Amino acid sequence: MTEQANPAKAQKIQKINGVRGMNDLLPADAAQWTHLEHVLRDLTRAYGYEFLRTPIVEATAVFQRGIGEVTDIVEKEMYSFEDRLNGEQLTLRPEGTAAVVRAVVENNLLYEGPKRLWYTGPMFRHERPQRGRYRQFHQFGIEAMGFAGPDIDAEIILMGQRLWDELGLKGVRLEINSLGQAPERAEHRAALVTYFEKSKDQLDEDSQRRLLTNPLRILDSKNPAMQELIEGAPKLLDFLGEESLKHFEAVQTLLKANNIPCKINPRLVRGLDYYNLTVFEWITEELGAQGTIAGGGRYDPLIERMGGKAAPACGWAMGMERVLELMKVSGSLPEAPAQCDAFVIHQGGETLTSAMIIAERLRNAGIDAILFCPPDGQAASFKSQMKKADASGAAYAVIIGPDELAKNEAQLKDLRSTGEQKAVALDSVVEAVIDAIVGATE
């Protein structure tokens, strides 16, 4: 039967699903995110980093110029569109750094000197959704702008280590490399092209294209068939001049002095165009293929490239979903805290009026309180309300029925430890709940 011939079916309302690879944060997981966000806030405060928020949408040029045309992100991962109303070319931000630099330049934030900044929020990349890889995901990132020395490279790495320690993550290892400066990379690039051209037939399609556009990225390839070839390629480290080597060694010395072990990975080039000198990644073996939980490095040329006055900078970004997943695997996720302190039960009518007033008084005193609201707008039995109170995680139930109200009283019931129940004067409910909570924590 066609839908037209079956009006009942035609009227069935279809549900609309979320976009593939873009997830809801459901209440059951909210406490974990809040915990991570608190730790991140404390971390940034401990190192004197200031918060900054940029819009989710930027002019496409911000990322084209900031990230570089020949990168996975700009080539194939960006959500770009034309604003139909005015023809502007816009992009959902795929990462934070280019946007932060845009904001810093636009608002002249480096006018008075260097800045330590941090940001967090959703990022968007059109990738194949899988574990640890989403189309909307969340990053936390820091950017230290206006600092040239290896001290700040080391500082931002120390922040990473402190973060893993705070979160109880084990087995996160640091890999580090130096990309040197543009002239050094140019020399290396020429050597790479000569090397790979000799074995062009062994390169996959992506790499053949990159041979002409960005041969350094060939080193990044995960294609198993090319690993041996890549292993034998000329190493950028061998092309670094004295200054670059000095910077790289100084970073390593500072890390060593702070007991941060790191492995030099000459193949670590990072996906983005804007890096120079130090680059690094934090990697775990616990998450399968998506094992990089954070990465970053120095990007001295970027601020000038985005139209600002030249200033050195470095930073890193972390994938929050991957870190939370690792916390889950490591068993270091905190228990969800109780939803509230008190659950207020009533029988409608005047008892509702009193219950609502009492609930407000509890909140005035800083006590989290849930007032029972019947789903059907009618009254509900004490028994079903007590079940709700138990499920709420509340420590105490405050019960105001007609009998209690007639005596100007409420019943206070301990839900979590003793199960004790006692009558208290309505005017003293707040004090009684405070006494009970203080008593229970002593």
208 binds ligand ATP (CB under 6 A): no
Q: Which residues, listed in sequence order, are joined to residue 295 by a DSSP beta bridge?
A: 281, 317
332 binds ligand ATP (CB under 6 A): no
Please state, in angstroms and as integers, the Cα–Cα distance from residue 177 to each residue in 150, 232, 247, following that order: 13, 17, 11
Shortest separation between residue 121's beta carbon and ligand ATP, angstroms:
12
Shortest separation between residue 332's beta carbon and ligand ATP, angstroms:
17
Shortest separation between residue 277's beta carbon and ligand ATP, angstroms:
17
Q: Is residue 41 marked as binding?
A: no
Phi then psi for residue 431, to 5 deg, are -60, -40
Which one of residues 247, 322, 346, 413 is an interface residue with ligand ATP (CB under 6 A)? Answer: 322
Please state, in angstroms and as integers, the Cα–Cα distance from residue 439 to each residue in 48, 337, 417, following that order: 38, 19, 11
Shortest separation between residue 82's beta carbon and ligand ATP, angstroms:
24
* Cα distance between residue 57 and residue 251, in whole Å: 35
* Cα distance between residue 246 and residue 241, in whole Å: 9
273 binds ligand ATP (CB under 6 A): no
Q: Is residue 270 marked as binding?
A: yes
* Cα distance between residue 42 and residue 44, in whole Å: 6
* Cα distance between residue 117 and residue 159, in whole Å: 13
- Name which of residues 118 to 147 contact ligand ATP (CB under 6 A): 125, 127, 132-134, 137, 139
295 binds ligand ATP (CB under 6 A): yes
Instruction: Give the number of C-alpha atoms closer than 13 A to the C-alpha of residue 389, restricted to the C-beta side.
Output: 27
351 binds ligand ATP (CB under 6 A): no
Q: Report, in this order, helix, strand and coil percent for the chain, each rounded to 5.
A: 45, 20, 35
Shortest separation between residue 334's beta carbon and ligand ATP, angstroms:
21
Give the 3-state secondary structure of residue 272: coil
Please state, in angstroms and as integers, the Cα–Cα distance from residue 175 to each residue in 8, 111, 115, 266, following that order: 62, 34, 26, 9
For residue 166, the surrounding DSSP H or E stretch is: helix 150-167
Which one of residues 43, 65, 95, 244 is an interface residue with ligand ATP (CB under 6 A)? Answer: 95
Neighbours of 219 (CB within 10 A): 21
293 binds ligand ATP (CB under 6 A): yes
* Residue in the structure block whose two tokens are 């931002």: 156
317 binds ligand ATP (CB under 6 A): yes
Of 52-60, 287-295, 370-378, 387-395, which segment contacts ligand ATP by CB under 6 A? 287-295
71 binds ligand ATP (CB under 6 A): no
Q: Is residue 60 marked as binding?
A: no
* Cα distance between residue 119 and residue 50, in whole Å: 9
Of 1-9, 175-183, 317-325, 382-390, which segment contacts ligand ATP by CB under 6 A? 317-325
96 binds ligand ATP (CB under 6 A): no
Of 209-217, 228-236, 319-327, 358-366, which segment contacts ligand ATP by CB under 6 A? 319-327
Judged by beta carbon, residue 292 or residue 339, the one nearer ligand ATP is: 292
| Contact assessment for residue 252 and residue 262, using Cβ atoms and an 8 Å cutoff | yes
Q: Is residue 274 marked as binding?
A: yes
By rule CB under 6 A, what count of residues binds ligand ATP? Answer: 19
192's tokens: 């790479």
Longest dimension (CA), the chain: 95
Of 224-232, 314-322, 383-391, 420-428, which segment contacts ligand ATP by CB under 6 A? 314-322
Quick note: the x/- pattern for ligand ATP over 217-256, rule CB under 6 A, is ----------------------------------------
Phi then psi for residue 322, to 5 deg, are -65, -40
Q: Is residue 322 marked as binding?
A: no
Q: Is residue 185 marked as binding?
A: no
330 binds ligand ATP (CB under 6 A): no
319 binds ligand ATP (CB under 6 A): yes
Shortest separation between residue 54's beta carbon and ligand ATP, angstroms:
16
CB-nearest residue to ligand ATP: 319
Helices (H) and strands (E) in the chain, counts: 16, 16
Instruction: Give the number of C-alpha atoms closer than 13 A to the C-alpha of residue 258, restricted to the C-beta side.
Output: 17
Annotated binding site for L-histidine: 95-97, 125, 139, 143, 270, 274-275
Q: Which residues bind ligand ATP (CB under 6 A)?
A: 95, 125, 127, 132-134, 137, 139, 271, 290, 292-295, 317-319, 321-322
